[in-house]
């Protein structure tokens, strides 16, 4: 039976134990992530990324990058979706995302025009998958129309379905759906919002060739 005296002693002991520093917490998380990976308990690693577009979350499986999310999508919502659709063994493990974070930093700095990352397409299937594969080859600084992407994906009449696939792209920026515009040249929808889409196009225009329209 716990007595008031016992509770007071526990509180006094807890008060005398200093809280770990931010550096210590980071080190402990990294050690925990590495141990989980060694014991095959880490199926999805994720890490935050600072960017000119705001905070991002990038996640990867052992196969490759599986998700990139904007702040407006909500961190908890993104992690819950990963747990439900891929595996409940989702853990923050920045060291596992070092290459992805570096390449994203280089892209935003204008020093990278093509990502060398392996992609895990586990969150997309069927026609949506084909649309994103077609989108992935649009070069830096160029754009394509929704119709041309639908055609490249094998169904020229499925322009609306192509738009839905692009609006739900789980790996924006790396799979550059921001390079797909309406036939009249206007932006169209974007998972991160039209402002971010426009900012990405402006970034590429500033560091690469002038924006060009092309078919696929």
Task: Let me know if 177 is a catalytic residue.
Answer: yes
The angle at the Cα of 72, spanning 124 to 70, to the nearest 5 degrees, equals 55
Query: Helices 159-167 and 126-135 sit at what angle, rounded to 10 degrees?
Result: 80
Catalytic residue, from 49, 123, 177, 203: name it.
177
DSSP readout, 45-72?
A: EEEEE--TTS-EEEEE-SSSEEEEEEGG
Q: What's 181's DSSP letter?
A: E
Q: Please choose, from the candidates 107, 104, 111, 106, the residue with its C-alpha nearest in 3D space to the C-alpha of residue 60.
A: 104
CA pair distance 121, 139, nearest whole angstrom? 20
- Which of 43, 65, 62 shows the shortest CA–CA distance to 120? 65
CA–CA dist 199, 38 (Å, integer): 40
Contact 14, 76 (CB under 8 A): no
How far is the C-alpha of 119 from the C-alpha of 58, rounded, in Å?
A: 12
Annotated catalytic residues are 177
């Amino acid at each position: 039976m716990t007595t008031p005296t016992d509770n007071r002693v526990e509180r006094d002991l807890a008060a005398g134990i200093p809280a770990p520093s931010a550096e210590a917490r980071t080190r402990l998380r990294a050690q925990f992530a590495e141990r989980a990976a060694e014991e095959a308990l880490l199926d999805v690693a994720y890490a935050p990324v600072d960017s000119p577009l705001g905070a991002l979350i990038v996640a990867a499986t052992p196969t490759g990058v599986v998700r990139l999310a904007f702040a407006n999508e909500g961190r908890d919502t993104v992690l819950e979706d990963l747990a439900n659709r891929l595996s409940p063994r989702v853990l923050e493990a920045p060291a596992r995302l070092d290459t992805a974070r570096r390449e994203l930093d280089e892209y935003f700095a204008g020093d990278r025009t093509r990502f060398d990352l392996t992609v895990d397409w586990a969150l997309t299937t069927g026609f949506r998958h084909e649309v994103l594969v077609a989108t992935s080859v649009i070069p830096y600084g160029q754009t394509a129309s929704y119709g041309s992407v639908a055609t490249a994906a094998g169904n020229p009449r499925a322009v609306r379905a192509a738009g839905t696939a692009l609006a739900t792209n789980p790996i924006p920026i790396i799979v550059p759906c921001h390079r797909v515009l309406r036939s009249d040249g206007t932006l169209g929808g974007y998972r991160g919002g039209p402002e971010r889409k426009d900012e990405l196009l402006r970034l590429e225009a500033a560091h690469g060739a002038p924006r060009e329209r092309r078919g696929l």
